[in-house]
Amino acid sequence: MRDSSVRSPDGLEAILLVGGQGTRLRPLTLSTPKPLLPTAGVPFLAHQLAKARAYGVRRVVFATSYRASMFAEAFGDGAGLGLEIVYVTEDTPLGTGGAIRNAARALTCPPEAPVLVLNGDILSGHDIAAQVGLHVSRGAAVTLHLTEVDDPSRFGCVPTDDDGRVTAFLEKTPNPVTNRINAGCYVFQRSVIDTIPEGQVVSVERETFPGLIAAGELVLGFADASYWLDVGTPAAFVRGSADLVLGKLGSPALPGPVGERLLLDGAVVSPEAKVTGGTVVGPRATVEAGASVRGSVLSEGCHVASGATVVDSVVGVGARVASGTVLREVVVGDGALIGPGNELTAGMRVWPGVTLPECAVRFSSDV
């Protein structure tokens, strides 16, 4: 997290978009919204909220929909985080723009004030204060965080001119004109939010931002190449958690020192087990002697038996991984049992409560 000579104004308000169902992360999100999944030992949003608080945000409006009540159960009024948190729920999904407009009724700032808008599934090391500072100094309608990626063809790209003005929003194309993409963090002038149609499904990417550009409004890009990750897939979720534990991205919410592993309350790891790569061992989880776990998330009360190998995977609450089992890039749902000698890999997902008998799934011929 970089320091900046430009500090966000104390009292800055933010909208946090957390209404999605997280379908790409199933079965993890069948019972828990994606932004509340334990990530490096705390709910994912705790990292975003701690960073926003450090940059001057004092009041956050949660734009909720899916399992909305769980957010208030997790964070309450925000006092424990040094924030004021309020909750606004969509009865029916309204898209990104509609959700922002719906949440704006709980804002208290005047029309000329900047409002930070965050997507609830992004890990980012960019300097929020500098983004807000640019927005205010240039008097922009909206300022978007743009990140640079190796393969922009997988995303819509966002070209800018030499002055930083966004010139277009381009859909996915095999020949992108820039490697900069929309990184999902915006600074809006409050009055611009109020122009979004109320109670309608609106996409900021397809409607609001292109409309502002067409109308000649100043839409700026705040581009950098700092850490950025969309944690919407199991592989990215596991990587994000591991990167936080390893210290590749700093977070004030990390509940322990950075290192090869993070052990939470009641976790039991045998001295003869090998647990590395930013692995989180959840409360009352057990890793037996001879087990090898790397870069993974072991949830509360799960059990990894002697001789098992778990790499870049998630093992759900109360799930059991038997001796001789190999998991590589796998999601094991809550309460599942992976019997001895199974070999799961390449993005396989085991639904909650499922039992795989001994050697039920193999990728190699030896047993």
The values of phi and psi at residue 354, to 5°, are -75, 145
Given the residues 34, 51, 172, 248, select the one marked as catalytic: 172
Residue ranges of the alpha helices (H) in the chain?
44-54, 69-75, 95-103, 128-138, 190-193, 209-214, 234-246
Per-residue tokens: 284: 């009352």
Per-residue tokens: 328: 């590589």
User: Buried b / exposed e across 21-46, counting CB within 10 Å, b at 16+?
Assistant: ebebbebbbeebbbbbbbbbbbbbbb
Distance separating alpha carbons of residues 196 and 147, to the nearest angstrom: 25
Give the total residue count for the chain: 367
Distance separating alpha carbons of residues 188 and 193, to the nearest angstrom: 7
Give the bridge partners for 86, in sequence order. Answer: 61
Q: Is 248 a catalytic residue?
A: no
Report which residue type is found at 162: D
Active site amino acids: 172
